[in-house]
Amino acid sequence: MKTNYKKFQEKFIEGLLMLSGTVTSLTVLLIVVFLFSEGLGVFNKKPIDDDFNLTIHAENRISKLSPSQVKNIFDQKIKNWKEVGGKDEKIILFKIDDISDFYTDDQLGKDFKNLSWCINDYIVKHRGVIAFFSKKYISKNFKGKILDVDKIKVSEFLSGDEWFPTARPVAQMGVKPLILGTLWVSLGAILIALPLGLAAAIYLSEIANSRIRNILKPLIELLAGIPSVVYGFFGLVIIVPLIQQLFNLPVGETALAGSVVLGIMALPTIITISEDAMRNTPRAMKEASLALGASKWQTIYKVVIPHSASGITAGAILGIGRAIGETMAVLMVTGNAAIIPTTLLEPVRTIPATIAAELGEAPNGGVHYQALFALGCILFIITLVINLLVEFVTKRKTLSKH
Amino acid sequence: MKKQLLVLMLPAFAMLSCGGSKEKTEKQAITIKGSDTVLPLAQMEAEKLMKQDSSITVSVIGGGTGVGITALLEGSTDIAMASRDLKTEEALKFSEAKKEIEKVLIAYDALSVIVHPGNKVSQLTREQIEKIYTGEIKNWKEVGGEDLKIVAYSRESSSGTYEYFKEEVLDDKNYATDVLSMPATGAIVQSVGQTKGAIGYVGLAYQTKSVKQLAVSYDEGKTFIAPSVAAAKDKTYPISRPLFFMYEKVNSEKVKSIIDYTLSEEGQKIVLEVGYVPLK
């Protein structure tokens, strides 16, 4: 009876453990599926609002415009149709909110009854017109030409260098500056955090006596517990002006400021993991080295570091994984200008900062919303690659041991 | 952060006030939704009103003017907060749905253009500001200042202020790519105050001594008007916009309490406290 009960208890606990494992895996899978199904949806959409049209005069030769051409036309940087391959004709912009400037209330009718007639009339009368309005107001005998807008292509999405997701009539979805911005900031962060973290880890594991270590280590681990907004504000108020003065820059919100803040944030991970790895160096190996006449520094350099190399790498990669995904601190210090960075001393816009700043206002299910999820997918792939790298590095180490 | 905290706390306030007045009168629950610009104002008004009259519960939700107006169209909110007038298309949608909309002007919001206090430039025309933000003017010496690169700060594209500034000041052109965008108005003030070549735009309420406000001209340089509550009130200052509460006419009885309170002397005092320009 008692053994039966015990067996049942064991089975029950086993079941519970299996259940929680399954639930966790399912949740992860669900999130990934959700992320990718939303994100990939962007490539099925046109960068123009679904129920809107871009129309021109019927006799205009143009039948297609690229998103950036449309943007430049509406920004009045392109002012003549011949610049995009048409006839020598001045471009006239027309938006529906301007309609009352051209037609009286009588002509528009009560409740805008005659609106579609007025739009048609305006387009027929102006040869250089380009008009942007809702499909609902196209009259039955519409005389203009409707421009075709291409769906967003994967290659354009990845290689485009302008990010204006809310631009009307046509949104600009180029994520190259965002990907490069993320990589620059993370690279800078690792260059700052790795030497510092390594030095601190060596000091803690090999040089500091146990009393100092007992004080220092919890302190460093405390760094991980500070909310990232606090790091961000610290960066904005202290690091940004410092960088500006140090390099005599016009603006202090730069990739470097982001790197410094992220570097500080990645430190606890790097220090804790590499210190643990160093302390795992067998005492016999260190003593053998010292007994052979090597100095303390030689022992650290020739024995401890090589032995714990895999742990150090893992720490560095995990630290940088955290840095790449970090949102709030970066949002506050990097300036968020979506330009392709050429040095660390320029403002950049990172992927997580973009998602955090824009997702709240993007209409659910729209192009902008899905584009932000596609950015999430890119970030996911980057961190996945990093995690696989960790796996690879630690595995290689265990294999070589045997 | 504070905004979110307030939103989270509102239901708590509502619950507290529930406990106080057990079945005394019939409960009145009013929902307000829309512009994030109006949000802090509406929250304050709602809070004060609920403290006075425990039979009313008001919940205030942000999301942007467009969101509020859509909700009003669908009937999922009683009042829509708006930081602009109805667009032609929105007016069309309401007339299609045969809904009559009442607009109540509750306050004005004026934007001031700010620069670093050490900047020699003290006035700009609208055209100059447009060229600065679209990237055509890149140095302060082009507008009469010293030889210094211009660093333009803006809000994030999700903000209503971003759209308003684009439509009103930039003639609906897109911002240049190298314009820096900040997550909060406070961050713009902080950055402009510590960057020598900086220019930014913020609500009138955010003026501090660490930045300098510019006078702007909308008639190509003939008259320059410095931003102030008085200038915004008599409409001589051009970069100011009306803030509205909008509701369906059939609902006017239900929303009367909050609207009357907002327009009352006490309510208008709150407008000034929150940092907008009162009507009178």
Tens-place pLDDT, residues B181-200: 887 778 888 889 988 899 99
Number of Cβ pairs closer than 8 Å across A and B? 98
Q: How high is the pLDDT of residue A2?
A: 67
Identical fold at B2-108+242-274 and B109-233? yes
pLDDT at position A206 is: 87
Of B87, B88, B181, the CB nearest to A336: B181
- Enter the ipTM: 0.76
Residue B87 has pLDDT above 80, yes or no: no
List of chain A residues whose C-beta atoms are within 8 Å of the C-beta of residue B171: 76
The mean pLDDT of chain B is 83
pLDDT digits (tens, 9 = 90+) for A170-218: 888 889 999 999 989 988 998 999 999 999 999 999 888 889 999 998 8
Rounded Cα–Cα distance for residues B255 and B249 (Å):
10
d(CA A47, CA A225): 41
Q: Write the CA distances from B99 to A150, B72, B250, integer angstroms.
A: 37, 10, 9
Residues 6+ apart with CB under 8 A from A319: A190, A193, A197, A266, A267, A269, A270, A273
Q: Is the pLDDT confidence value at A400 over 70?
A: no
Tokens found for residue A393:
């590095």
Q: Show the tokens assigned to A7.
A: 């067996």
Contacts of B194 in chain A (CB under 8 A): 240-241, 244, 252
pLDDT tens for A288-341 read 999 999 998 899 888 898 888 888 888 888 888 888 888 888 888 998 888 888
Spell out the domain ranges in chain B.
Answer: 2-108+242-274, 109-233
Q: d(Cα A236, Cα B273) in Å, to the nearest integer?
A: 27
Closest CA to B221 of B146, B143, B147: B143
The Cα–Cα gap between A186 and B13 comes to: 44
A119, B162, B273, A232 alpha-carbon torsion, rounded to 10°? 160
**A67-99 pLDDT per residue, tens:** 888 888 888 888 888 888 778 888 888 877 777
Q: Fold for B2-108+242-274, please state it.
A: D-Maltodextrin-Binding Protein; domain 2 (3.40.190)
Whole-number Cα distances in Å, A118 to A121, B8, B173: 5, 48, 25
In terms of DSSP H, where are the helices of A82-148?
Answer: 99-102, 105-108, 115-125
Instruction: For residue B85, list chain A residues with Cβ-Cβ distance below 8 A.
Output: none
CA distances to A222, B138, B251 from B94, in Å = 56, 44, 15
Beta-sheet pairing, B123-125 with A145-146: unpaired
Q: Say yes or no: A32 contacts chain B, CB-CB below 8 A.
A: no
For residue A341, the chain B residue with the least C-alpha distance is B178
The confidence band for A397, taking pLDDT boundaries of 50, 70 and 90, is low
Question: Which residue in chain A is spatially nearest to B140 when comparing CA positions?
Answer: A250
The burial of A290, by beta-carbon neighbours within 10 Å (0-12 exposed, 13-18 middle, 19 or more buried), is given as middle
Q: What's the DSSP call for residue B142?
A: G
Asked whether the beta carbons of residue B194 and residue A112 sit closer than 8 angstroms, the reply is no
The CA distance from B159 to the nearest CA of chain A, in Å, is: 8
Question: What is the rounded distance in angstroms from the CA atom of residue A146 to the CA atom of residue A342?
Answer: 40
Cα(A372)–Cα(B81) distance, rounded to whole angstroms?
27
Which percentage of chain B shows pLDDT scores above 70? 89
The HSE-up count of residue A55 (CA atoms within 13 Å, CB side) is 28
Residues listed for chain B: 280
Q: What is the pLDDT of residues A260-275, one digit of tens each?
A: 999 999 999 999 999 9
Distance in angstroms (rounded) separating the CA atoms of residues B70 and B35: 12
CB B165 within 8 A of CB B154: yes
Contact A349, A338 (CB under 8 A): yes
Nearest chain A Cα to B90, which residue?
A97
Q: Which has the higher per-residue pLDDT, B19 or A399?
A: A399
- Percent of chain B predicted with pLDDT > 90: 25
Nearest Cα residue in chain A from B163: A166
Best probe of the B interface among A115, A176, A251, A254, by most B CBs < 10 A, is A251
Give chain A's radius of gyration (CA, Å). Answer: 30
* Cβ–Cβ < 8 Å for A250, A272: no
Distance from CA of B135 to the nearest CA of A (A): 12
CB contact under 8 A, A337 and B173: no
3-state secondary structure of B152: strand
Q: pTM value?
A: 0.77
What is the spatial distance between Cα A379 and Cα A376, in angstroms, rounded to a whole number? 5
Is the CB of B180 less than 8 angstroms away from the CB of A253? yes
CA B261 to chain centre: 19
Q: Flag if B92 and A112 touch (Cβ within 8 Å).
A: yes
Smallest CA-to-CA distance from A71 within A17, A188, A149, A187 is with A149
* Binding-face residues of A in 81-120 toward B, CB within 8 A: 95-97, 99-100, 111-112, 115
Largest CA distance in chain B: 70
Neighbours of A349 (CB within 10 A): 27
pLDDT, tens only, A313-322: 888 888 888 8
- Partners of B173 on chain A (C-beta within 8 Å) are 74-76
Alpha helix positions (H), B86-228: 88-96, 126-133, 160-168, 185-194
- Tell the residue number behind the tokens 């528009």, with chain if given: A108
Contact A348, A179 (CB under 8 A): no
Residue A219 above 50 pLDDT?
yes
Q: What is the mean pLDDT of residues B231-246?
A: 86
Q: Is the dihedral of CA B159, B165, B170, B171 positive or negative?
A: positive
The answer to whether the beta carbons of residues A293 and A342 sit under 8 Å apart is no
The CATH code belonging to domain B109-233 is 3.40.190.10
Residues of B in contact with A177 (CB under 8 A): 177
Contact B88 A162 (CB under 8 A): no
**Residues A138, B149: Cα–Cα separation, whole Å:** 47
Residues of chain B positioned with their CB less than 8 A from the CB of A327: none
Q: Name the percent of chain A lying above pLDDT 70.
A: 97
* Chain A residues within an 8 Å CB radius of B179: 337
- Residue A321 is predicted with a pLDDT of 82
Tens digits of per-residue pLDDT, B6-65? 455 545 444 444 444 444 446 678 999 888 788 889 999 999 999 888 888 899 987 777
Task: Tell me how close the Cα of B92 comes to any Cα of chain A, in angstroms.
Answer: 7
Within an 8 Å CB–CB cutoff, is residue B136 touching chain A?
A: no
Amino acid A398: pLDDT: 58
More confident residue, A393 or A252: A252
